[in-house]
Amino acid sequence: MRLQKYMAYCGVGSRRKCEELIKQGCVTVNGIKVTEMGLLIDPDKDKVVLNGKQVLKMEKEKHYIIFYKPQGIITSVKDPYGRKTVMDYMNWQGSRIYPVGRLDYDTEGLLLLTNDGDLALKMTHPKYEVEKEYYCIVKGVPNERKIEKLKSGINIGNFITAPAKVALLEKQRELSILRLTIHEGKNRQVRRMFQAIGHPILYLRRERIGNLTLDGLKIGEWRNLTKKEIYNLKKHIREVNNDTI
């Protein structure tokens, strides 16, 4: 098994996160630091250590949590500045789980947490094109030309976004309400997209990831996904990507 896959399987994080930790020199195998990708290990014989702590297979049970994140909390397991994190807010007492992707401190909405590393990778990597849908209130009223920029891809600073789906829901004198659907997850991407067309975000809520929605949840509430929801989520990713999961 490849090292990063084993680490993800053990619940360290997504494969992308595990690859970052390896590149940073945080991982040793049998006492030897590893910084290159692709090392094959035998989980039953080799000793993998991350920052001085042995990486062990997690319990077989996997957890899948859907959370309606409020504004004002950090999407992280821990925060070095002592700010309240989603884990603090949820007061989670089970085995280790991780947020899948991020929501900004000042953004609310749907967040998935799990210890299923393979699923986390497929939910966050752009090549799998898992849609994320946002309800956006912006300053002013963007015209068709500006909306077309969002639809065709826009430069948000050394990065051109993939084409987005955009629907203008309501126009008022000083603000507009839109629905934006993307499949990427760059830092503060939605805010940067609207900033780039001159209509900064006033309020932002993520309402959907793949086929998961906020239906039935109030702000600050969370629950376990049902077996049917987990099956349908994995089926949705397979159907979008012709993939196995």
pLDDT in tens, 176-191: 999 999 999 888 999 9
104 is catalytic: yes
pLDDT at 140: 97
42 with 136, same domain: the answer is: no
Asked if 145 and 198 count as a contact pair (C-beta separation under 8 A), the reply is: no
Least confident of 17-21, 103-107, 159-163, 239-243: 239-243
- Could you tell me if residue 59 is inside a domain? no
Asked if 34 and 49 count as a contact pair (C-beta separation under 8 A), the reply is: no
pTM over 0.85: no
DSSP β-ladder status, 48-50 and 201-209: unpaired
Range(s) of the domain holding residue 30: 3-54
190 with 162, same domain: the answer is: yes
Query: pLDDT category, 203, cuts 50, 70, 90?
Result: very high
Query: Does the pLDDT of residue 92 top 80, yes or no?
Result: yes
Q: How does DSSP assign 169-234, residue by residue?
A: EEE-SSEEEEEEEES---TTHHHHHHHHTT--EEEEEEEEETTEE-TT--TT-EEEPPHHHHHHHH
Q: What is the mean pLDDT of residues 157-184?
A: 95
142 with 205, same domain: the answer is: yes
119 with 215, same domain: the answer is: yes
- Selecting among 104, 116, 118, 243, the annotated active-site residue is 104
Query: pLDDT category, 59, cuts 50, 70, 90?
Result: low
200 with 236, same domain: the answer is: no
Least confident of 11-15, 62-66, 224-228: 11-15
**Total number of domains constituting the chain:** 3
Name, in order, each residue with C-beta under 8 angstroms of 220's C-beta and a sequence gap of 6 or more: 68, 70, 89
User: In angstroms, rounded to a whole number, what is the distance separating the alpha carbons of residues 217 and 113?
Assistant: 15
Name, in order, each residue with C-beta under 8 angstroms of 171's C-beta and a sequence gap of 6 or more: 141
Query: pLDDT category, 58, cuts 50, 70, 90?
Result: low
- 108 CB-contact burial (10 Å; exposed 0-12 / middle 13-18 / buried 19+): buried
